[in-house]
Structure 1
């Protein structure tokens, strides 16, 4: 456009909740861009949301905005448009005459005002509606994310150009030819001259490409602009950019139109089981994004704010964003262009795609969603960062209809890769003919490609159930060994198992029974596979965060959770709960991510999430809070050691070892740096240290073999330690920042039967009570599975958030989640003299926790501070004790609901039992809390 008239500033306002129509005179005003909530317009609600943040000024209905505009003589009669960057459903009037309506939730609203804006004063009126959408809108309108705001955000302007102008400008980069094809529609009846010029952006601003002139005739313009043999290429690691300027000059030599665009020369493709960028394989290190911005309640539209946000994500190794049922504003794409982030917007749909004649078929909604896809492609498709698109989240329904939509988008715009949706047909997925890649969590019931699941989606993942180690990858799940053997024998056909029926599934935040249709059995993906929404490890709230909510949205949910904890008498533990659960969650994420990097057939992953999710019950699953600020769980540098361009990986079966054992590990490098930065020979330095002493060290070299290099096999005897010892296995590639550290624990040999030397019981029997009355020291190990007043042990932290999946499990008739968030340990207590531990869960305690239960202490009248607490979720807030001590009569009692036979099967379990036994027999065993027998019987039942 040649000239822009900015319409930011004060507008008259009339709120119309009942949608009765405009009533004059206007009674209020507010500044645009903005939202009614941000401007605090309308009555304040005292409601407190518990499942998400609270918008106290939420307004739903029609909001009428009006202002006077003065058109100068020089703009009179020009081609003119009203541009509204991001809003809801709008209808526009100019001088009381209706111009039209627009309903896109993702793309700008553009109104042609040509012939209507003569010189002088005009009244512009815009009605914004945020109810009765053609579709529910996914995370674009959800209270779980950016809220269902009303208003207009971003640019609000009148755009003017000559009688000849360009529309539908499209850039098709040609990497082999080092050029770009520019196509557009030339509007107007006269021929014109198109001048194209380019200069480097950012650090490459001194780079210039000579301008070229092209003759342009009315209709379609198509030209090829050469950038030169040394042209910059765009990728996540080297995001070379050009500022491209298109200038249209009419037959009289006057400039009629101008467009300034960012150009990135790139080719993002699916080749086999991997994505490539400009011919090099790349690995997607993605995060989910639902446009959560608590201070505004809506997504920012300024580039610098998005640069700040994406730069934080990139500092944690992220190179990919998947937008859940939403598309961000243009500023997000521009920032991603600058920083090198692969972007995947998604249609605002989370439901079932049907065909005409089917039950509940909604053709209006389906047509709207298809139009939204085209609008997204038109508005943002030129950005080099826009490389992928999804049709929605966890869709069900007609596969042929979904595939037809994919085919149409591919024919319309082949610059991007498309997928049918994220985790479609969850339990019975299938790659469609026109899928460029697959995004999901499983291929069949047991072929799982992430480490954690909700109980209603069980079986659970390896991070939740397996003995901790570093062996797991997903290669056998992606291509099972039986299929590989068949291929090697010359029989490459998939085994098919067709069928129809119904399945009960998690459907959003509820349960639903859906038809499966025709489904295949053991099918093998032949496109890149991206694991969907991995992680989801919950942490306890940090109530200090409440003070950050100084903008539109308020953390009433956090305040309610704090009140619940205080009502239990546990408010003083909030900070420790948050910190300890956070450390466990970070360790779970490390194993989750390393399993992905060990998987040579995987093309990438999409975390849920790097940051907390404010809704759906309040899912505090991030290592960053909702403001993209650190929660103190892990530094960016440490996170990048297991989530970066290049990751060192050691494969070994367990973290807990016995003194004198031979430690064995296979060391490999997953390396997706560009070829120019990869070494031809990789040198590894490693060492094992403990307490400042070097126990073993060495070096190894190997010729690099592409993205995965097997470096060496380590084997060395572990020292004959006399006490439980924590050691660190450190790996590094010299002169790089590629490094990794693993904690190992080494135990002295412990004989089985360590409990034989003391008095211990499996239940609180009369015999046990009699010994206590006589002043004896007793160890009580109640059988975990027989306790009524207890929560069963689970080492991994809770999935997503307890209230949401408790409700879903109940509605599906499936087991409820355990719902706990790890341990809080009084680690300086003398009971741990022979079992040194952190204040939070670490791998020596995995066997103990998995074979234990925690007593519910809620109803006790006596204040009892367990030595080891289990952290409960913020909904239940049980006071839970895993290891407790007390005086009973003249005796002393140590209680730990634990299966000792299971514990004795591992060196760490034997060490734990030995530490308990030695403590019970020591002078240090001096409990201070007194309990009577009857209270104990009520507790341990």
Structure 2
């Protein structure tokens, strides 16, 4: 390219809504790049969507943009009109159509060279956001960046002489420290006539600046290939050290420039290696959610911001859900050392020709879209992985064929059939380089949480909090007594926000992948909305869902609790995420994870699962440096049975280290300390040998014989590094037996209880709740993803609906809990209590009742839920506890809670 004409600026506008056949009327204008929604064009949208953000100017149809452009002085030049990031476009020059292009990821480039004669020309660009050949996944979804209409990237006419460099492929060798370049040279010379080109290379961000002398290469005919030595001191690109070089190619007045990096990303056995070093992928899901605009940015600075935040939180990997980001995202990832995995924009079924439902146009489009993805972004060192889509079904033979085609075309990255394909019936195809899924058989689970419709649930949802769990026995079972998933028929599955029936083959209970395993979309722990966030939505997408949720809560009389609901549900989500992530780092046979998500997800019912909001701003639930204690390239861990301990007992924990840094862990010292008020015990452990997972030994301590509930902290650190971790433990006094008979306990306020109340006494009511309406089952973990979406899916499938609660809000200063002190949110000491409870629905009957322990309901149902409350009656007081006390006597925390309640009501 020798020059360009920037087409950004004001364009005349004609809108043709879907279904409205109207003549072109250019009675408006808008600035491009941009979208009709951002420009406030079209009819205002008054809807109040609750499942996703509301587009204030939602437009579906065709937008025509018209402008005059002067080509003066360009006679005889080659001109290409290029549009980055748009929808389906048709280009008209002087009223003549130059064709239609429909890629959702690649620039649309039209050859307009025959119009290069001097003079003014009329250009019309018709952009349609309807009629896609495929659903488009998160590229066009109202759940993510919206189905915008417009052009969001560069708009320009690229000018070059009749000679043009194109199709550049850069291949690097870390072993030889060389770069091989292949390319095309479009010209009018005879095939046997050659010319010379010049290649220059300089480092961009290396500790020592490197500039190579110009390298002359020969061009014969329409292509060229050469190999350039970079020297034995050339720097490598990695997630630790993302060193980059800039290459400039010049030939016959045309110039091409690209960034590149030397890297070797491989799948070796069950692990990924980057330049020979084992890496664990610490990935986040990304659906390209940008609430201020409703579309993904195309400038590097915007991507540097969000990706730098992800790096600050310990992530080194991005998985793009059914979408591919623009070039700027890859450049930001290049600079920050992020391993990228874009996906084809597909979430459906791949079929073979001749099969019922086969859609040739759609599948051909998707396959071509994949080749365009490779051509456009393939030189970026961050483009290490590629996936065919999300939760695909259909023909494994056809998927394998598509993979084979891509790998034959370009082997510079690793490929996989998709994320969580065939769900209950996983397999590894011959062409798969790695596997992404949530289970390896019906009960061989490799993440900590699941939707109720996908039960069995995960260990974070069903087990008492501990740090024992890992996935190694699920990957390689000790026995083969695992359940096959039924197949050879049809099965109902979750499909997006709905349900789909698919054909399924029987799953192999003994399926053991021989490739690296990534655990798919782990986490999904929901937090309550922060209504203060509403004011941040100043762009075309409005948080009317939040406004509806706020009004619902206000109608329920619970709006004053909103901030506490947000904080307490969020603190519980932090606990769940910590265990979810540490389970991966304890697992030697898991190669990485893809979290859903570090940030909130704006759609699919409104899934507020992030530690950051949708803008990638912190929600204040945990600091990034604390998060990195259990999400980083080195994590020190302790395995123990329970967070709740008994005075005078022996505490034991196995000390472990997961280490993937380039500097060896050998001979480093890990310090482990258990400390509390007037108590501390420490031990040191030495790391020996090489590898990524180290079991360092047993830490033991004799616990003091305290007479009151005491907080302990188990701290670990790798001396001389930033690697540390900690666990908050609770030490309870030894209680041999709880004197339940001290209290006046009844099932209801009967005559005997009423007489006591008349006498000014306090009575304890423990209702019989089993099987009775008006109560919600106790569930310690916060809700999965979001209640309205999975409630609907479970009902559609005829399966149990999720409990849907989000932890506790505790009146920690209430005298009933004087012997059971803690936080105002759920902590492990409440697990047994919650699991043996059924919270009462107090809707419309809460007047006069003082809730001591409140259960937080979700934003759809908004029940006023109480695990424990009290009210005055006659001359006395009634305390209602919706938990059987005698079910708590097997644990020190259960006995402490029971004793505290008995002491209060027995006064």
Q: What residue number does 2:215 align with?
A: 212
Aligned equivalent of 2:72: 72
1:683 to 658, 663, 669: 669
Q: How does 1:271-290 map to 2 (within 5 A)?
A: 271-290=268-287
1:887 aligns with 2:872: yes
The Cα shift of 1:43 comes to 1.4
Task: State the partner residue of 1:466.
Answer: 463
Alpha-carbon distance, 1:682 to partner = 1.7
What is the rounded CA distance, in whole Å, between the counterparts of 1:71 and 1:499 in structure 2? 64
1:176 paired residue number: 175
Distance 1:647 1:786, change over 3 A: same
Match of 2:43 in 1: 43
Q: Distance in 2 between matches of 1:498 and 1:880?
A: 39
**Distance in 1 between the 2:611 and 2:850 partners?**
29
Say if 1:669 and 1:708, in contact at 8 Å, map to a contact too.
Answer: yes
Counterpart CA distance in 2 for 1:497 and 1:645 is 35
Tell me the equivalent position of 2:388.
391
* Aligned equivalent of 1:635, options 610, 623, 639: 623
In the alignment, the residues of structure 2 paired with residue 497 and residue 395 of structure 1 have an alpha-carbon distance, to the nearest angstrom, of 17
Q: CA deviation at 1:753?
A: 3.7
- Residue 736 to residue 205, structure 1, CA distance change in 2 (3 Å): closer
**Aligned residue among 306, 326, 329 for 1:309:** 306
Q: RMSD of the TM alignment (CA)?
A: 1.6
Distance 1:203 1:183 in 2: 25
**Equivalent residue runs for 1:28-39 within 5 Å:** 28-39=28-39
**What is residue 99 of structure 1 aligned with on the other side?**
98
In structure 1, C-alpha distance between the alignment counterparts of 2:735 and 2:641, rounded to whole Å: 21
Partner of 2:830: 845
Q: Which residue of 2 aligns with 1:928?
A: none
Q: Is structure 2 residue 230 aligned with structure 1 residue 227?
A: yes
User: What residue is the counterpart of 1:806 in the other structure?
Assistant: 791
Q: Distance in 1 between matches of 2:485 and 2:240?
A: 43
Rounded Cα–Cα distance in structure 2 between residues aligned with 1:859 and 1:156: 59
SS at the partner of 2:234? coil
Q: Matches of 1:178 and 1:189 in 2, distance apart? A: 35
Which of 365, 370, 374 is matched with 1:373 structurally? 370
What are the superposed Cα offsets for residues 375-406 of structure 1, whole Å, 9 maximum, x if unpaired? 11111111000011111111111111111111
Q: Is the 8 A contact 2:197 2:219 kept in 1?
A: yes
1:863 CA drift (Å): 4.4
Partner of 1:3: 3
Alignment partner, residue 733 of structure 1 = 718
Secondary structure in structure 2 of the residue aligned to 1:872: coil
Q: Return the alpha-carbon distance in structure 1 between the equivalents of residues 766 and 21 of structure 2.
A: 71
Q: Map residues 666-815 of structure 1 onto 2, 5 A cutoff.
A: 666-674=654-662, 677-691=663-677, 693-815=678-800
What is the aligned partner in structure 2 of residue 402 from structure 1? 399
Instruction: Tell me the CA shift for residue 19 of structure 1.
Output: 6.2
Alignment partner, residue 635 of structure 2: 647
Contact 1:320–1:342 (CA under 8 A) maintained in structure 2: yes
Q: Helix, strand or coil: the match of 2:668?
A: strand
Other structure's SS at 1:919 match:
helix
Contact preservation (8 Å) 1:54, 1:554: yes
Q: Does 1:328 align with 2:325?
A: yes
User: Residue 664 of structure 2 contacts residue 690 of structure 2 at CA under 8 Å; is this kept in 1?
Assistant: no
Residues 276-285 or 199-208, more deviating? 199-208
The answer on 1:504 being equivalent to 2:503 is no
SS in 1 for 2:154: strand
Question: What is the distance in 2 between the residues matched to 1:69 and 1:760?
Answer: 87
Following TM superposition, by how much is the alpha carbon of 1:207 offset from its aligned partner in structure 2, in angstroms?
A: 1.7
Match of 2:501 among 497, 509, 513: 513
Q: Deviations over 1:45-77 (max 9, x none)?
A: 11111100010101100100111111131x321
Match runs of 1:501-650 below 5 Å: 501-517=489-505, 519-650=507-638
Cα shift at 1:702: 2.7
> Matched residues in 2 for 1:19 and 1:507: separation?
28
Listed one character per residue, the Cα deviations across residues 253-290 of structure 1 (whole Å, up to 9, x for unaligned) are: xx2x1111001100111000001101111000000000
1:904 Cα deviation after fit:
0.9
User: What SS class does the counterpart of residue 806 from structure 2 fall into?
Assistant: strand
> How far off is 1:164 after superposition?
1.4
Contact 1:463 1:588 in 2 (8 A): yes
Identify the range of structure 1 (886-895 vs 96-105) with the bigger mean alpha-carbon deviation. 886-895
CA change 1:158–1:19 in 2 (3 A) is: farther
Contact residue 77 and residue 161 of structure 2 kept, 8 A:
yes
Three-state SS of the structure 2 residue aligned to 1:154 is: coil
Q: Is the 8 A contact 1:590 1:642 kept in 2?
A: yes
Give the match's secondary structure for 2:549.
helix
* SS across alignment from 2:871: strand
CA contact (8 A) 1:140 1:326 kept: yes
Q: Does residue 162 of structure 1 match 2:165?
A: no
SS of equivalent to 2:55? coil
Q: CA deviation at 1:783?
A: 3.5
TM normalised by structure 2 equals: 0.98
Q: 1:497 to 1:463 in 2, by over 3 A?
A: closer
TM-score (norm 1): 0.94
Aligned residues of 2:90 and 2:126 also touching (Cα < 8 A): yes
Aligned residue for 1:115, secondary structure, equals: helix
Q: Which runs of 5+ in 2 are unaligned?
A: none
Alignment of 1:917-928 (within 5 A): 917-922=902-907
Distance 2:584 2:539 in 1: 38
Report the Cα distance in structure 2 between the residues aligned to 1:354 and 1:764, rounded to whole angstroms. Answer: 65
Q: Give the equivalent residue in structure 2 for 1:342.
A: 339
SS at match of 2:850: coil
**SS of 1:481 mapped into structure 2:** coil
- How many residue pairs match? The answer is 903
Q: CA deviation at 1:776?
A: 2.7
CA contact (8 A) 1:695 1:719 kept: no
Q: Report the Cα distance in structure 1 between the residues aligned to 2:831 and 2:871, rounded to whole angstroms.
A: 25
Work out whether 1:298 is the aligned partner of 2:302: no
8 Å contact kept, 1:499–1:520: no
1:149 is matched with 148
Distance across 1 between alignment mates of 2:534 and 2:138: 23
Query: CA separation in 2, counterparts of 1:22 and 1:169?
Result: 44
> Distance in 1 between the 2:452 and 2:846 partners?
34
Query: Who is 1:238 aligned against?
Result: 241
> In 2, are the aligned partners of 1:396 and 1:425 still within 8 Å (CA)?
yes
1:115 aligned partner: 114
Kept in 1, the 8 Å contact 2:672–2:699? The answer is: no
Deviation at 1:767, TM superposition (A): 3.7
Counterpart of 2:568 in 1: which secondary structure? helix
Tell me the distance in 1 between the aligned counterparts of 2:380 and 2:453. Answer: 39
**CA offset at residue 175 of structure 1?**
1.1
**Residue 890 of structure 1: CA displacement?**
2.2
- Supply the distance in 2 between the matched residues of 1:741 and 1:916 (Cα, whole angstroms): 31
Q: Secondary structure at the match of 1:746?
A: strand
**Displacement of 1:212:** 0.4
Pair 1:798–1:431, CA change in 2 (3 A): same
What is the alpha-carbon distance in structure 1 between the residues aligned to residue 701 and residue 20 of structure 2? 80
Measured in 1, the distance between the counterparts of 2:768 and 2:367 equals: 58
Cα distance 1:336–1:815, how it changes in 2: closer, same or farther (>3 A)?
same
Does 708-717 or 838-847 show the bigger shift? 708-717
- Taking the aligned partners of 1:403 and 1:764, their CA distance within structure 2 comes to 68
